[in-house]
Homo-oligomer: A and B are copies of this chain.
Amino acid sequence: MMKGHLEKPLLYLTEMSEEVAIVASETTKFTRNDLSIYELACDPCRKIFRKTNLDRNDIDSVVLSTCSTLQYTSSIVSEMLGLKPKNSFRIDNLCSSGTSAIISTYAEIAAGLCDCALVIGAESGTNYAAKRLQWDLTRGSFNLPIHWASLFARTHMRKFGTTEEQMASVSVKNHRNSSKNPLALFRNKVTIEDVMKSRKISDPIKMLDCSYVCTGSSCILLASKMKAKELTDNPVWISGIGQKTICASLSHLLSRGKIGLESTQEAAREAYKMARTNPQDIDVVELHDAFTIMEIMAYEDLFFTSKGEGGKFVEQEQVSVNPRGGLLGCGHPIGCTGVAQTAEIAAQLAGRAGKTQIKGCKTGLIHNMAAAGSSSSVIILRS
Residue A19 at the chain B interface, CB threshold 8 Å: yes
Query: Are B16 and A112 in touch, CB under 8 angstroms?
Result: yes
Q: Given the complex of chains A and B, what is the CA–CA distance between A73 and B87 in angstroms? A: 22
Q: Determine the chain B residues whose CB is within 8 A of the CB of A13 once the complex forms.
A: 112-113
Residue A155 at the chain B interface, CB threshold 8 Å: no
Residue A186 at the chain B interface, CB threshold 8 Å: no
Residue A348 at the chain B interface, CB threshold 8 Å: no
Residue A304 at the chain B interface, CB threshold 8 Å: no
Q: Given the complex of chains A and B, what is the CA–CA distance between A75 and B1 in angstroms? A: 34
Please tell me the number of chain A residues within 8 Å of chain B, measured between CB atoms: 72
Residue A15 at the chain B interface, CB threshold 8 Å: yes
Q: Given the complex of chains A and B, what is the CA–CA distance between A72 and B248 in angstroms? A: 8
Which interface residue of A2, A75, A78, A134 has the most chain B CB atoms within 10 A?
A75
Residue A272 at the chain B interface, CB threshold 8 Å: no
Residue A179 at the chain B interface, CB threshold 8 Å: no
Q: Closest CB-CB distance, A270 to chain B, in whole Å?
A: 7
Q: Given the complex of chains A and B, what is the CA–CA distance between A310 and B192 in angstroms? A: 73
Query: Are A75 and B248 in touch, CB under 8 angstroms?
Result: yes
**Of B7, B69, B94, B375, which contacts A129 at CB under 8 A?**
B69
Q: Determine the chain B residues whose CB is within 8 A of the CB of A97 once the complex forms.
A: 89
Q: Given the complex of chains A and B, what is the CA–CA distance between A333 and B86 in angstroms? A: 24
Q: Determine the chain B residues whose CB is within 8 A of the CB of A83 once the complex forms.
A: 245
Q: Given the complex of chains A and B, what is the CA–CA distance between A72 and B226 in angstroms? A: 35
Query: Are A107 and B103 in touch, CB under 8 angstroms?
Result: no
Q: Determine the chain B residues whose CB is within 8 A of the CB of A76 once the complex forms.
A: 135, 248-249
Q: Determine the chain B residues whose CB is within 8 A of the CB of A12 once the complex forms.
A: 112
Q: Determine the chain B residues whose CB is within 8 A of the CB of A134 once the complex forms.
A: 71
Give chain A interface residues in 358-383, CB to chain B under 8 Å: 370-371, 374-375, 377
Given contacts A85-B245, A113-B107, contact A69 B69 (CB under 8 A): yes
**Of B2, B78, B226, B249, which contacts A15 at CB under 8 A?**
B2
Q: Given the complex of chains A and B, what is the CA–CA distance between A47 and B306 in angstroms? A: 43
Which B residue sits closest to A2, measured CB to CB? B19
Residue A301 at the chain B interface, CB threshold 8 Å: no
Contact with B along A78-105 (1 / 0, CB 8 A): 1100011111111111101100100110
Contact with B along A43-78 (1 / 0, CB 8 A): 000000000000000000010000101111111101
Which B residue sits closest to A65, measured CB to CB? B89
Query: Are A79 and B111 in touch, CB under 8 angstroms?
Result: no
Q: Determine the chain B residues whose CB is within 8 A of the CB of A113 once the complex forms.
A: 13, 103, 106-107, 241, 243
Query: Are A89 and B88 in touch, CB under 8 angstroms?
Result: no
Query: Are B84 and A244 in touch, CB under 8 angstroms?
Result: yes
Query: Are B104 and A226 in touch, CB under 8 angstroms?
Result: no
Given contacts A104-B108, A107-B108, 10 further A-B contacts (CB under 8 A): A5-B112, A7-B226, A73-B92, A79-B248, A89-B97, A90-B91, A106-B111, A106-B113, A107-B113, A110-B111
